[in-house]
Amino acid sequence: MHEIVKEMRRLEKELEYHSKRYYEEDAPEISDREYDMMFARLKELEAQYPDEASPTSPTLRVGGAVAERFEKVRHVVAMGSLQDVFSFDELNAFIQKTGNDLLYTVECKIDGLSVLLTYEDGVFVKGATRGDGVFGEDVTANLKTVKTIPLRLNTPVKQLVVRGEVYMPKSVFAAINKQREEDGETPFANPRNAAAGSLRQLDSALCAKRGLEIFVFNLEICSDSLPDSHKERLDYLQSLGFAVSPYRKQCFGSETVAAVEEISALRPTLGYDIDGAVIKVDSIAGRAEIGELSNLPKWAVAYKYPPEIVESTLTDIVIQVGRTGVLTPNAVLEPVRIAGTTVSRATLHNIDYINGKDIRIGDRVLVQKAGDIIPEVVRPLTEKRSENSVPYKMPDVCPSCGSPVKRDEGGVAVRCTNTDCPAQLHRTLLYFARTMEIDNLGESVVQALIDNGFVKSAADLYTLEVSPLAEMERYGEKSAKKLVESIEKSKKAPLARLISALGIRQVGEKAAIALAERFYSIDALSAATVDELITVNDIGEITAKCIAEYFEVPQNKTLIERFKALGLNMEEQAEEKGTALAGKTVVVTGTLPTLKRNEAEALIRKHGGNAASSVSKKTSLLLCGADAGSKLAKAESLGIPIINEEEFLKIISE
């Protein structure tokens, strides 16, 4: 009995840890399958030994919590979870217990982030994450960037609350992970965590770039009279303009297994990730009769598909050099079929991933597709390893240019130290052109410029002339003239855009704007110390070090001087700031009558204040609008002055 209790406490602790990594930090360390198996084992033990079950067991509540950086909202209806089943025997047991003669609806189980959407008079007014099932995070601004969420319904409904699953399409997930690996960032584990991380960004503009979509799968509250059928309610939601569960089939109990298998066969053809099928009693009245447990409906289950894992031989490990010089190892495999496609390459992410799993060339390995998309090596089969096998070692020099490589301090990325490395040039030029908004400079044109010896750095773009360009293969005078004109136009780009285009690690569009507003010129920025950089809003110590290190590299200094000589804009007109909020830290919360949050924050900065995202003892003022949540409560508890929009505008006008 002692060992059983010990196992239960261990499982509770591990599930709590992995639940936090999954739901709150969007950075899982184990597969969904491993988590599900631990969860199922704990439930089994609790059923056998109910007296030993903890009153705070993870099985008693929905995973997740409300992040402090978001407004906390109480759901108008509880957002529970579903009981999982992992075999057809378990599914059939559910059907027999619930009713074999009942009509069921079988749907895809989209692997994303569950949200609750609220509409008033046909207009979208609020959206929240599931959180702990009772309280969630107010992510309305971010949800408004999801293109498949209608902001206004086709037919006005006085009150409507629906539940859906926000997801990231497979193609978007693959593109983002490719970019993250090139930039030396840790790739997302799967589309679900990519979607969650995107939706929980404080900057809705960044969320908008992530290409999120949604499928609505349940109608929670509606002021209109509705049919008793769940499937017909989904049809009703579709008529209002919602994207609803893409596969939904009504069938009797004995037919549900076939429907689940039918969905499984569709998985390789879908543009989004699913991890199972949901089986629900179709009659809403029937559901009420069957009832619910404290946090689980008794009228529905989720059948979870096992991941498809195949065996292959890892014949080699090759290194790809990305735009920022990051060396990314990739496995070369004996071709195998996984999830409908032939796979001969798989990502190995970084040297820590290889060392942690002890992956070696020549190993027999297990391979799966992360999120059914990106092939990855799960683990080596060490029992089949040859005796002369040796651990893998990352190269000491860049495979492209032969320069020494260096591992990031406190990070996992290994980089080429040569900023003129040929392998980086193509991606560097593409990134520079995209950021500086240079038209007609795509991948093929960049490669042609490199192949013809016209460019060896971004500065060379500004020396290009029409006549030599027109001589390139499949490139005429008209195209050459357009390109040169676009490059010339980019010289006038704002300083923030140039800072971003330099490709400094950790410095994206938002950080570049903050740096331009603080230093006003490249010269001032390049002379800034780490301590000075840290004082800039949104710039942390790691980013500050990356900026300082960039301007210490001789090749980068030369590049900046060439940009100056070629006439690029290197300064920002210093905007005269007011002093009404000088030295004050102001947090904006709730919905203001006329100002959007970003507009209010811009005014705070314009008048000398610091616009912060969370309330703390250092907060000077809370600018509060309607529907304020946890930030208002925290400000009140700390005795922080609270003002409305009218009072705010009066302060800055004076």
Rounded to an integer, what is the distance from CA 650 to the centroid of its chain? Answer: 39
Burial of 543 (0-12, 13-18, 19+ CB in 10 A): buried
Of the residues 72, 109, 126, 231, only one is catalytic, namely 109
Report DSSP state, residue 228: S
Burial 107-145 (b: 16+ CB within 10 A, else e): bbbbbbbbbbbbbeebebebbbbbbbbebbbbbbbbbeb
Q: Which residue has the tokens 């010339």?
A: 488
Report DSSP state, residue 469: H
CA distance 515 to 228: 58
For the record, the structure tokens of 540 come out as 């942390």
Cα–Cα distance list, 275 to 85, 211, 278, 352, 370 (Å): 12, 20, 10, 28, 11
Q: Which helix (H) or strand (E) holds 330?
A: strand 327-338
* DSSP, residue by residue, 189-218: SSHHHHHHHHHT-S-HHHHHTT--EEEEEE
Closest CA to 354 of 321, 320, 393: 393
CA distance 140 to 31: 30
CB proximity list for 274: less than 8 A, separation 6 or greater: 108, 109, 110, 111, 263, 267, 305
Residue 338 near residue 369, CB atoms below 8 Å: yes
Concerning whether 584 is annotated as a catalytic residue, the answer is: no
CA distance 502 to 8: 53
Closest CA to 163 of 300, 336, 349: 300
CB proximity list for 67: less than 8 A, separation 6 or greater: 24, 137, 200
248: left (phi over 0), alpha (psi -120 to 50) or beta: beta
CA distance 367 to 331: 10
Count of positions (residues) in the chain: 654
For the record, the structure tokens of 180 come out as 């993250």
CA distance 456 to 444: 16
For the record, the structure tokens of 648 come out as 């705010």
Q: Which helix (H) or strand (E) holds 425?
A: helix 422-435
Closest CA to 557 of 527, 518, 515: 527
CB proximity list for 225: less than 8 A, separation 6 or greater: none
Instruction: State residue 324 phi and psi, 5-degree precision.
Output: -95, 15
Q: Find the largest Cα–Cα distance for the chain.
A: 85
Closest CA to 64 of 128, 141, 130: 130
Closest CA to 601 of 124, 72, 202, 206: 202
Q: Which helix (H) or strand (E) holds 512?
A: helix 509-519
Residues classed as catalytic:
109
